[in-house]
């Protein structure tokens, strides 16, 4: 099956270089051909496993707790302004 | 070794141990490259009185250490200094351990050879032209080379056990839920576990006593009591039923490895265990299931690396460029391959054919284990189909690399605990490992059997010449 690398790279937010694309596409096609052997397994009456512990939702009390990590977290941000992470404008003006 | 170091440190303090270890890193790490971060000035001696008595422990670089860069050996996390300790690191510190250094790994734990690190490959201390196994290759090589007393690794599809086998040390992947993952940079969240990599089985039990247990900050950690694992040592194996799964002794398994594992079965029998052949019929599908389900989880987990909150940010114009360029320049080739594959199997139109199908076959693999454990208490298998391979040998062919994990992956799919421990050497002097697999939360059975075999064979007495 052909791997639509441009489309998937767009979904994955990766701007691949042209020279990367050919190799990745070839690798991914051979991996997909390999995983296709799963088609041979009859799973009609099988429930999927998403988690091995069979946990129920776990809740804790919604309480305010002291936290002092804000400054430390922002200290290593690639770019910050005051108490915020700084990014380029999200909406471009026409 | 951890036990001896604790004894020494309790008597005279840990300073001499830290110094001689530092000296050893200076001597050999330019060749082994087990550490991505090692700086004697940064080592904060533990001031806490606890069972580990100040003894240094090394930590894989995907486990958060407060104030120390945590990069997952990826350029995209360059400069990321976590504002908190992972729970396992906190527990180590509370037990009196000194955090010694951060170990090299495959980028984001994506690999079986430790070659995909952005900081260069780690080399196998037994043969520097060969890989140490991955992804926790730095942790295993550091312990084997005498550059660490003990280390923590993480295991998603074999990342503790394969390097332990390739480097001739002991690596335990605990039951899913046994050890908190809070502060472990997530790869495959329904698989990831942190575990000890040590020189001996007893050292492994000592570290498990410290790191295991429930943590309210990790809702997948199991709220079950933690036994004293050292109590399982010395129990012997009389009457223990040990299974050899037929599907693990197949074509493609190196004859020297097969011989070594079958010899281990014979030794167990001699010590009073009952050996029995069992079946895990869906084993051959485990790699395929893993490369659907684990990469799906990985692509989702790696969505957060976009240059906004931490680590590397590429030069950019608008916001779109910021995301796309940061991710393109920040991730290595294997990370991109897995992100793309994961994105694909979760994408509209393919979800059912791949992701859901993978999860269903995962159920069959789990059921295989449940049935096998009706008949036996423990499974004995090889860890890897081959001895450590040469650097570069499998790097260009991802599928061949993925198949190195054929004997370890199903354990993660089922969530059961497993240990890799030394079972001898090839004629050319490379370590061979064997794997013991137990029922969920039965790590004690593993410790019991592993210790009995280790005391009988004493492979750990051999060290690589560096």
User: Is B176 in contact with B415 (CB distance < 8 Å)?
Assistant: yes
Cα–Cα distance measured from residue B177 to residue B279, given in angstroms and rounded to the nearest whole number? 26
- What residues pair up with B212 in beta bridges, in sequence order? B179
The total domain count for chain A is 1
The reply to whether B135 belongs to the active site is yes
- Mean predicted confidence (pLDDT) in B205-221: 96
Q: How does pLDDT run across B238-290, given as a tens digit for each residue? A: 999 999 999 999 999 999 999 999 999 999 999 999 999 999 999 999 999 99
Q: Residue length, chain A? A: 94
Q: How does pLDDT run across B26-62, given as a tens digit for each residue? A: 999 999 999 999 999 999 999 888 999 999 999 999 9
ipTM computed for the complex? 0.93
- Mean predicted confidence (pLDDT) in B87-92: 98
Cα–Cα distance measured from residue B209 to residue B226, given in angstroms and rounded to the nearest whole number? 7
- What residues pair up with B437 in beta bridges, in sequence order? B379, B418
Q: How does pLDDT run across B116-139, given as a tens digit for each residue? A: 999 999 999 999 999 999 999 999
Residue-wise pLDDT tens for chain A (94 aa)?
778 999 999 999 999 999 899 999 999 999 999 999 999 999 999 999 988 887 778 888 899 988 777 888 888 899 999 999 999 988 766 5
Domain span at residue A22 reads 5-40
pLDDT the model gives residue B220:
93
The reply to whether B5 belongs to the active site is no
User: Is A1 an 8 Å CB contact of chain B?
Assistant: no
Cα–Cα distance measured from residue B132 to residue B113, given in angstroms and rounded to the nearest whole number? 6
Does the residue A66 lie in any domain?
A: no
Query: SS3 breakdown of chain B: % helix, strand, coil, rounded to 5?
Result: 45, 15, 40
User: Is A87 an 8 Å CB contact of chain B?
Assistant: yes
Does the residue A12 lie in any domain?
A: yes
pLDDT the model gives residue A93:
61
Query: Cβ A78–B319 below 8 Å, yes or no?
Result: no
Does the residue A94 lie in any domain?
A: no
pLDDT the model gives residue A94:
55
Does the residue A10 lie in any domain?
A: yes
The dihedral over CA atoms of B92, B96, B99, B103, expressed in degrees to the nearest 10, equals: -40
Query: Cβ B354–A15 below 8 Å, yes or no?
Result: no
- Domain borders along chain B are 2-233+450-461
Q: How does pLDDT run across B260-274, given as a tens digit for each residue? A: 999 999 999 999 999
Q: Which residue in B322, B337, B360 is closest to A87 by CB distance?
A: B322
Q: Residue length, chain B? A: 466
Residue B280's contacts (CB-CB under 8 Å, 6 or more residues apart) are: B245, B247, B248, B365, B368, B369, B372, B379, B410
The reply to whether B60 belongs to the active site is yes
Q: Which residue in A32, A53, A69 is closest to B176 by CB distance?
A: A53
Choose, from B139, B159, B286, B410, the residue flagged as catalytic.
B159
User: Is A46 an 8 Å CB contact of chain B?
Assistant: yes
Does the residue A15 lie in any domain?
A: yes
User: Is B178 an 8 Å CB contact of chain A?
Assistant: no
CATH superfamily of B2-233+450-461: Amidase signature (AS) domain (3.90.1300.10)
Q: Beta-carbon neighbour count of residue B216 at 10 Å?
A: 12
Element (H, E) at B421: strand B418-425
Query: Cβ B341–A31 below 8 Å, yes or no?
Result: yes
Cα–Cα distance measured from residue B204 to residue B210, given in angstroms and rounded to the nearest whole number? 10
């Amino acid at each position: 099956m052909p791997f639509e690398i441009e489309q998937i790279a767009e979904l994955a937010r990766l701007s691949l270089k042209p020279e990367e694309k050919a190799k990745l596409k070839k690798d991914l096609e051979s991996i997909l051909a390999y995983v296709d052997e799963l088609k041979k397994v009859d799973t009609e009456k099988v429930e999927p496993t998403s988690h091995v512990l069979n946990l129920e939702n776990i809740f804790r009390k919604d309480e305010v707790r002291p936290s002092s990590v804000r400054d430390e977290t922002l200290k290593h941000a690639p770019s910050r302004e005051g108490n915020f992470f700084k990014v380029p404008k999200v909406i471009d003006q026409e | 070794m951890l036990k001896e170091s604790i004894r020494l440190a309790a008597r005279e303090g840990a300073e001499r141990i830290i110094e001689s270890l530092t000296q050893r890193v200076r001597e050999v790490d330019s060749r082994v490259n087990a550490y991505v971060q090692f700086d004697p000035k940064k080592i904060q001696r533990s001031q806490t009185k606890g069972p580990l008595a100040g003894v240094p422990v090394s930590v894989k670089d995907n486990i958060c250490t407060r104030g120390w860069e945590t990069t997952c050996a990826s350029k995209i996390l360059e400069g990321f200094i976590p504002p908190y300790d992972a729970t396992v690191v906190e527990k180590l510190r509370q037990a009196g351990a000194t955090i010694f250094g951060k170990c090299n790994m495959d980028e984001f734990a994506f690999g079986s050879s430790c070659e995909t690190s952005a900081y260069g490959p780690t080399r196998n201390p037994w043969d520097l032209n060969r890989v140490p196994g991955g992804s926790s290759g730095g942790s295993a090589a550091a312990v084997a080379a005498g550059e660490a007393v003990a280390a923590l690794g993480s295991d998603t599809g074999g990342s503790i056990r394969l390097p332990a086998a390739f480097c001739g040390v002991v690596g335990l992947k605990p039951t899913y839920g046994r050890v908190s993952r809070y502060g472990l940079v997530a790869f495959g969240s329904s698989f990831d576990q942190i575990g000890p990599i040590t020189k001996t089985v007893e050292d492994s039990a000592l570290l498990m006593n410290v790191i295991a247990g429930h943590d309210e900050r990790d809702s997948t950690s199991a709220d079950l009591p933690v036994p004293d694992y050292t109590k399982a040592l010395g129990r012997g194996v009389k009457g223990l039923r040990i299974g050899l799964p037929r599907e693990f002794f197949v074509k493609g398994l190196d004859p020297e490895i097969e011989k070594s594992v079958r010899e281990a079965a014979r030794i167990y029998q001699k010590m009073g265990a009952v050996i029995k052949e069992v079946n895990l019929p869906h084993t051959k599908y485990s790699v395929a299931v893993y490369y659907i389900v684990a990469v799906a989880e990985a692509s989702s987990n790696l969505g957060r690396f976009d240059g906004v909150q931490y680590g590397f940010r590429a030069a950019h114009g608008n916001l779109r460029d910021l995301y796309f360029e940061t991710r393109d320049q920040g991730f290595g080739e294997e990370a991109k391959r897995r992100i793309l594959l994961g994105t694909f199997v979760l994408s509209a139109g393919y979800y059912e054919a791949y992701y859901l199908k993978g999860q269903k076959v995962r159920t069959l693999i789990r059921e295989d284990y449940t049935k096998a454990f009706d008949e036996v208490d423990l499974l004995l298998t090889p860890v890897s189909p081959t001895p450590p391979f040469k650097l570069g040998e499998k790097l260009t062919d991802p599928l061949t690399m993925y198949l190195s994990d054929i004997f370890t992956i199903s354990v993660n799919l089922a969530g059961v605990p497993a240990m890799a421990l030394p079972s001898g050497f090839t004629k050319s002097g490379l370590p061979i490992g064997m794997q013991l697999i137990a029922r969920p939360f039965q790590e004690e059975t593993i410790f019991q059997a592993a210790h009995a075999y280790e005391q009988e064979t004493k492979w750990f007495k051999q060290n690589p010449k560096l």
